[in-house]
Structure 1
Amino acid sequence: MHHTEAGPGPKGSVLAVTFEIDGQAFIALDGGPQCPFTPASSRVVHCGAQEDVARHWAQLDDGGREVLGGVAPVRLRAP
């Protein structure tokens, strides 16, 4: 995907790209000057039922280990 005349980036510059690594789909977005490149990434997990959500949260939490979230470590907790 490319920026259009509507912006916010220069018309024709890259807005987003999709790619696949080992069968896993990824999307990379241009964050603009207010969001410079970092090694951070986000993940999306598609769930079919509430039980799936609870199971994934439990696996992510797994004892409350700290993970980097935003500018400070946060603890993952089920909603």
Structure 2
Amino acid sequence: VMDQISDKKNKEENWVEELSLQAAMNHLNPRERHIIEMRFFQGKTQMEVAAEINISQAQVSRLEKNALKTMKQYLAG
């Protein structure tokens, strides 16, 4: 019984976290959002992302850093 309660609580927490993450990503511009999706949801390296969208790895790194900063600020409220 306790496992079922714990599982339900974990599912609810994950759902809330997912909604928060989606809301934070909605505060990014389309280019930043695309980079974050490729890096963290598709598992691509910065070099792979750079090649796919025709920018340097350094630019990917900078855009990713700014996007994560924006998301952290949003989530911190």
Same fold per superposition (TM over 0.5): no
Q: Point out the structure with max Rg over C-alpha.
A: 1
Higher RCO, Cα 8 Å, sep 6+: 2
TM-score relative to the length of structure 1: 0.28
User: Greater share of strand residues, 1 or 2?
Assistant: 1
